[in-house]
């Protein structure tokens, strides 16, 4: 018997884990804040910020130049 799970089995396990976490009262503090919040809320906020950054155009640092309106005037 293989020890590897199929994608469907992994999805079922992930969904079950997500439900358990949603119902839990695991708490954490955000960096720089004093009050505690549900861990799931902090993780969801972080995930949303990551997704919004992925949707923004990426700028390359260290190899390509970024042009601003001021740079365009000098052309």
Give the DSSP letter string of 33-69. --SEEEHHHHHHHHHHHHHHHHHSPP---SSSPPP-H
Which pLDDT belongs to residue 59? 56
* Ranges in the chain, pLDDT < 70: 1-2, 58-75
Cβ atoms within 10 Å of 27's Cβ, excluding its own? 12
pLDDT in tens, 7-27: 999 999 999 988 887 777 888
Ramachandran area for residue 49 (φ above 0: left; ψ -120 to 50: alpha; else beta): alpha
Q: What is the pLDDT of residue 74?
A: 46
pLDDT of residue 11: 93
Domain that holds residue 48: 26-54
**Is 63 domain-assigned?**
no
* Contact assessment for residue 67 and residue 56, using Cβ atoms and an 8 Å cutoff: no
Q: Is residue 18 part of a domain?
A: no
Total domains in the chain come to: 1
Q: How far apart are CA 20 and CA 47, in angstroms?
A: 18
Residue 7 within any structural domain of the chain: no
């Amino acid at each position: 018997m293989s020890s590897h799970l199929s994608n469907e089995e992994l999805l079922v396990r992930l969904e079950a884990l997500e439900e358990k976490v949603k119902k839990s009262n695991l708490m954490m503090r955000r960096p720089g804040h004093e009050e505690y919040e549900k861990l799931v809320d902090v993780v969801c906020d972080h995930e949303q910020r990551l997704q919004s950054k992925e949707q923004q155009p990426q700028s390359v640092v260290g190899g390509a130049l970024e042009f601003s309106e001021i740079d365009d005037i000098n052309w």
